[in-house]
Amino acid sequence: MLISHANQQKWTAFKLCFEHGFKHPGVEKKIYNRADKFQVALSKQISSFFRNHVDAELHDNCLWARISLYDGIAINTLPPPSNIIYLGITKTFNCKEVEELDLKGKDIASLQELLLHQGSQGSYNSFRQNRMEDNPLIHPSKRSSAIDSRKEEDSRIVSDDVISKKRETVAKDTFGSQDQPALDHYEIQVKIPLRQSHFQSGENNPITAKIRIEGINVFNGIKKMVALGIIVPPLPEFLAELQSQGKNQIVADEDGRV
């Protein structure tokens, strides 16, 4: 589920949690196939606290809703309006809670891509979208002969072109041949132990380094930096799997593990 406030230009991802049952045994989660039923149900839950207007539409198998709140009970007796909306959503879907995820961005299609296909990003994306350049059903002998012919051709190219092509191959093998989902910011936090000499005593306390990457599409930017040689392989594990994390920030250790 993605929510955007009227005064913001970013969407925030939330998860409807149905684990561990419900308050009342036998109550099942609700699924809405019609926008009008969802609209009435959500408005009813919120109306206990605020006069409201809910406009819901069904588009591409997704429910889109715009929620407007008006004056209601004295504001000092209520939680923030956003909490009321979350409460209304939990009751509308009969879920246990609404959990905010660490994923925000301006491109809603990219957020959906990262949420729904978290395990098939990067190089695996080509398999999911059936955009593989080499047919996996080709007999190995035919495939190897094609590779050998490319190697012979590469051997006649000057060394700079070979290095450039290798970098592009690493970028493609790591991040896939397609454009990456668009996130406008990403924060990487790396914990590195502060190593002391054998003349010093005490524990090795880790230091923390934070790297914040911003741009129109940070994943495409990292892919281009690999292809241009700005980021030199082998890539640390966390950098090669950023798209599969489904979030805007990660914490990695000195070995590159998340």
Q: What confidence tens digit (pLDDT) does each residue in 65-100 have?
A: 888 887 655 545 556 677 778 888 888 888 888 888
Q: Is the pLDDT of residue 255 over 50?
A: yes
For residue 174, being part of any structural domain is answered with yes
Domain CATH for 204: 3.10.20.720
How many CB atoms lie under 10 A from the CB of residue 234?
10
- Regarding whether 227 and 129 lie in a shared domain, the answer is yes
- Regarding whether 127 and 76 lie in a shared domain, the answer is no
Give CA–CA dist 16/30, Å, rounded. Answer: 11
Query: What does pTM read for this prediction?
Result: 0.65
For residue 82, being part of any structural domain is answered with yes
How many CB atoms lie under 10 A from the CB of residue 71?
8
For residue 114, being part of any structural domain is answered with no
Q: Give the pLDDT band (50/70/90) at residue 40.
A: very high
- Regarding whether 72 and 129 lie in a shared domain, the answer is no
- Regarding whether 76 and 128 lie in a shared domain, the answer is no
Domain membership of residue 181 as a residue range = 120-134+157-252
- Regarding whether 170 and 47 lie in a shared domain, the answer is no
With contact defined as beta carbons under 8 Å apart, do 4 and 24 qualify? Answer: no
For residue 65, being part of any structural domain is answered with yes
Q: Is the pLDDT of residue 21 over 50?
A: no
Query: Residue 78 has what pLDDT?
Result: 57
- Regarding whether 99 and 19 lie in a shared domain, the answer is yes
- Regarding whether 210 and 126 lie in a shared domain, the answer is yes
- Regarding whether 182 and 101 lie in a shared domain, the answer is no
Mean pLDDT, rounded, of the chain: 76
For residue 147, being part of any structural domain is answered with no
For residue 150, being part of any structural domain is answered with no
CA angle 140, 146, 150 (to 5 degrees): 140
Q: Is the pLDDT of residue 222 over 80?
A: yes
- Regarding whether 126 and 73 lie in a shared domain, the answer is no
Query: Residue 200 has what pLDDT?
Result: 56
Q: Is the pLDDT of residue 129 over 80?
A: no
The residue-averaged pLDDT of 185-208 equals 71
- Regarding whether 166 and 92 lie in a shared domain, the answer is no
Q: State the total domains in the chain.
A: 2
Residue carrying the six token digits 């911003």: 214
The residue-averaged pLDDT of 197-224 equals 78
For residue 197, being part of any structural domain is answered with yes
- Regarding whether 84 and 14 lie in a shared domain, the answer is yes
For residue 18, the number of C-alpha atoms closer than 13 Å in the C-beta half-sphere is: 9
For residue 258, being part of any structural domain is answered with no
The residue-averaged pLDDT of 188-207 equals 68
β-bridge pairing 185-193 and 206-214: antiparallel
The residue-averaged pLDDT of 214-231 equals 90
Beta carbons within 8 Å of 41's beta carbon, 6+ residues apart: 30, 32, 92
- Regarding whether 125 and 91 lie in a shared domain, the answer is no
Query: Residue 120 has what pLDDT?
Result: 67
Please state which of the ranges 85-89, 152-156, 164-168 shows the lowest mean pLDDT.
152-156
Please give the single-letter amino acid code of residue 88: G
